[in-house]
Structure 1
Amino acid sequence: MTMDERIEQRLIDLEIKLSYAEDTIDRLNEVVVRQQLQLQTLAREVARLRERVDDGSGAVLRSLREELPPHY
């Protein structure tokens, strides 16, 4: 294999690796975007629940013993 062939093969190998790396980065970015949306949704839900608790309109907190079925 000549020097030019080796260089060409190395370039091809690098291009293949770069292609895989770009694909991985794209997929990871999609995951990060989805997780950010989930975090925003959860933050809104927590804020809404805090408002309910602060307003006193939330469910009354009871102990687990009060939740046992009557036959216990």
Structure 2
Amino acid sequence: MEQAGKSMRGEMDRISSLPDCLIHLTLSFLTAQEAVQTCVLSKRWKNLWTTSPFLNFDLRKFLCDDKPDDSE
């Protein structure tokens, strides 16, 4: 069984051992989509993005270029 904080090769996982506040700071530099994608990094990171006080949403990702034609 894998020990907490160690990779399969026995090396220490130093990023996952950082305090949540530093990981949240790191997530604040990512887009919201990238922050959510970090959930696959480890079991500890699975829901960590949900407690991040800052998520960088790119409004352009939510805007639709197809505008309905109201001229009819």
Structure richer in helix, relative to its length:
1
Task: Report the TM range for the smaller structure's normalisation.
Answer: under 0.3
